[in-house]
Every structure is written in C-alpha cells, then in structure tokens.
C-alpha cells in the first residue's frame, strides 16, 4: 500500500492544483522553484515525500519550454527524495500536435516528451483529451487519458436550449471525436473540410459536409491555439446559413491574437475548460470556463486507490 497522496504543483497552473487539493481534502506539498541568473532552474521539495504517492500538476502553457524543464526537474527531485510513485499530471500535453513525421527531417516531439518524462522518473501520466490517440502509445508507462466531453456537455445542456443546434467538427480530424458529443447531446453533426498549407496558421475551409442552414452551429474542437481554425469555420458556417455560431473546446491555448480575434468575431460564446490558465487579459465575457479539476481529483484518488478510472465517466 502506498503512503499518502502528495500534490505538487509546478509554476504553470497552481490555481488548478489548489482546486484539486480542495476536492481531495489535502494540502498542497510545499516546494520552491528558483530561476538563477544563468536561467538554470532549481526545484526543492520542502516536505518529506518518502514512500509517498506523488502527483505533479503541470499543464503545458507559456513559457512552454521552461514549464517542461521545471516539470522534469520536479520529477527528478521527487525521485531523489524517495517518492514511491510519481505521476506526471499534464492536463494539456506539451507538443501534442507534433505527433507524426509528416514532413522530411522533423522531430516527433510528442514522442520525445514521452521519453523525457520516463527518463526523468515518471511512473505514470494523467492527461486529458490528447490531440491524437497515438500519443498514448508513445509511452511504456501507463497513461490515463481523461475526457472533457461529459463536463462540457453537462454545461452546454444546463446553460442553453439546444433544440435547434447542430454540432460542427472544425476539421476532419475532430470528426471522429464529435460523435461522443452528439450522442450525449442527441444532436446532428456537420463537418468542415479544413485544409492547411504546411505549418501556417491560416487554415482554409473548403467544403461543408452536412447542413447548418437555419440552425445554431456549435463548433467542437480539442483546442483553440491561434484561433485560425475557429475563425475560418465560424465565417464558413455563417456563409452556409447558420443563424448563430458558438464554440466549445477542451484546451484554451489562446496564443497570439486568439482572444482579440474571438472578441471581434461574430462568435456568440466560446466554452472551454481550465486545463490551461487564463491570464486576466484572456478573461473576456464571451469565454465561459468549465472546471475539470474535480474530474482530475477523482482520477488521482482512483489511481491512488487502484480503482477504475473509466467508472468516473459513467
């Protein structure tokens, strides 16, 4: 039997770690993180963690590279402090979109992340809605992937009359995922055929599969980064007769001009989760946040007890 649960937060999203602690009824483990003038990072675990079941909470968000290094250093510090088991909790997985070698001489960086986490000493990973399922297979240690769909669907059902809505996959990749939302909400779906030229952040919508005319369109996506996909899909749906356009996405990366683009767009609302912190300038009225911290707390408790995580979704 493993000793107590220890929740350790990196610098990325301490508020999320605190919410997890509240749900679990535990105190956050004291740590200190220092950045020297030479940019080296030092992490010290300030409490005894011998034989403990340690969970390090660190979603990927800006500054991404510093966050990754801090996470690896924290795992290493826990290892050397004799934690019995270390779970890297990555509500948003770093470099998840670099998951394949689709151009010559590029890195499969999500795979590199898996290797780095294992090398640092992680025994398990807990994450949410990976950009693509193959990332789970990059690891040789157990990876539990939580799903935000049940929480987002509950929020949508409770906050809106969904009777004349149609769910829209912002691209063909998302089309596989949207079925889960459609089943839960009992709504029809449509799919935008989106194309990108290379790595640019200017996707083009070229066709619509399904019908949105006279309906309220709700775009579903795993993440909003630059907002390019969302803006293109929203304009395309309006052109095809949608009476209003909204969006729901799991991970609010909201990089570059994304928030300003959302503010200036005809999108009525954008529902996201709190896997990534929203800095004050990103907190605008149009963006509704649903917390997934209770689900993460439940999963942490289940991992600790050795009980089923899939039962959390039923």
> Out of 67, 91, 94, 227, which residue is the one contacting ligand R5P (CB under 6 A)?
227
Could you say which of 229, 273, 275, 293 contacts ligand R5P (CB under 6 A)? Answer: 229
Assess 179 for contact with ligand R5P (CB under 6 A). no
Could you give the string, one character per residue 46-85, with x where binding to ligand R5P holds by CB under 6 A and - elsewhere? Answer: ----------------------------------------
Q: Toward ligand R5P, which CB reaches closer, 144 or 221?
A: 221
Distance CA 247, CA 186 (A): 17
3-state secondary structure 203-227: CEEEEEECCCCCCEEEEEEEEECCC
Helix and strand numbers (H, E) in the chain are 8, 14
CB closer to ligand R5P out of 92 and 296: 92
Q: Does 177 bind ligand R5P (CB under 6 A)?
A: no
Distance from the Cα of residue 172 to its chain's centroid: 19
> CA 242, CA 251: separation in Å to the nearest integer?
25
User: For ligand R5P, which is the closer residue by CB, 173 or 241?
Assistant: 173
Q: Is the peptide bond before 63 cis (omega within 30 degrees of 0)?
A: yes
107 Cβ contact partners less than 8 Å away, ≥ 6 residues apart: 98
Note whether 252 binds ligand R5P by CB under 6 A.
Answer: no
Q: Which stretch binds ligand R5P (CB under 6 A): 87-95, 153-161, 166-174, 281-289?
A: 166-174
- Of 70 and 221, CB closest to ligand R5P: 221
Is the CB of residue 69 less than 8 Å from the CB of residue 41? yes
Name the CA radius of gyration of the chain, rounded. 20
226 is a site residue for ligand R5P (CB under 6 A): yes
Closest CA to 62 of 11, 107, 113, 119: 11
Q: Which of the residues 79, 194, 215, 239 is marked catalytic?
A: 194
Identify residues 197-216 at the interface with ligand R5P (CB under 6 A): 201, 203
**Which of helix, strand or coil describes residue 113?**
helix
For residue 223, state whether it binds ligand R5P (rule: CB under 6 A): yes
Nearest to 250 by CA among 170, 135, 195: 170
Q: How far is the CB of 233 from ligand R5P (least distance, A)?
A: 8
Among 99, 123, 129, 222, binds ligand R5P (CB under 6 A): 222
Q: Which of 20, 110, 151, 224 binds ligand R5P (CB under 6 A)?
A: 224
220-240 in b/e form (b: 16+ CB < 10 A) is bbbbbbbbbbbbbbbebbbeb
Q: Is 170 in the site for ligand R5P (CB under 6 A)?
A: yes
- Catalytic residue list contains 194: yes
Least distance (Å) between residue 100 CB and ligand R5P: 12
Nearest distance in Å: CB 198, ligand R5P: 13
What are the residues binding ligand R5P (CB under 6 A)? 170-171, 173-174, 201, 203, 221-230
Residues known to be catalytic:
194
């Amino acid at each position: 039997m493993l000793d107590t649960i220890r929740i350790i937060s990196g610098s990325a999203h301490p508020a999320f770690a605190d919410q997890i602690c509240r749900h679990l009824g535990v105190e956050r483990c004291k740590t200190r993180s220092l950045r020297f003038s030479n940019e080296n990072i030092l992490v010290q675990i300030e409490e005894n963690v011998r034989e403990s079941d340690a969970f390090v909470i660190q979603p990927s968000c800006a500054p991404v590279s510093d966050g990754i290094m801090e996470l690896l250093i924290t795992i290493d510090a826990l290892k050397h402090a004799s934690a019995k088991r270390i779970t890297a909790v990555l509500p948003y997985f770093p470099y998840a979109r670099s998951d394949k070698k689709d151009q010559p001489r590029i890195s499969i960086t999500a795979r590199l992340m898996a290797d780095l986490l294992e090398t640092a000493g992680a025994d398990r990973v807990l994450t949410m809605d990976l950009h693509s399922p193959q990332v789970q297979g990059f690891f040789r240690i157990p990876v539990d992937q939580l799903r935000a769909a049940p929480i987002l669907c509950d929020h949508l059902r409770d906050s809106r009359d969904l009777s004349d809505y149609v769910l829209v996959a912002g691209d063909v990749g998302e089309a596989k995922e949207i079925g889960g939302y459609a089943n839960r909400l009992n709504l029809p779906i449509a799919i935008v055929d989106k194309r990108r030229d290379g790595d640019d952040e200017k996707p083009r919508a070229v066709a619509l599969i399904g019908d949105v005319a006279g309906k309220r369109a709700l775009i579903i996506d795993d993440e909003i980064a630059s907002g390019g996909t969302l803006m293109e899909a929203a304009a395309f749906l309006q052109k095809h007769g949608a009476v209003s356009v909204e969006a729901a996405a799991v991970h609010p990366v909201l990089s570059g001009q994304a928030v300003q683009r959302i503010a200036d767009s005809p999108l009525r609302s954008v529902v996201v989760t709190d896997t990534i912190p929203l800095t004050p300038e990103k907190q605008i009225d149009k963006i509704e946040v649903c917390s997934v911290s209770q689900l993460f707390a439940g999963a942490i408790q289940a991992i600790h007890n050795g009980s089923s995580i899939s039962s959390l979704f039923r």
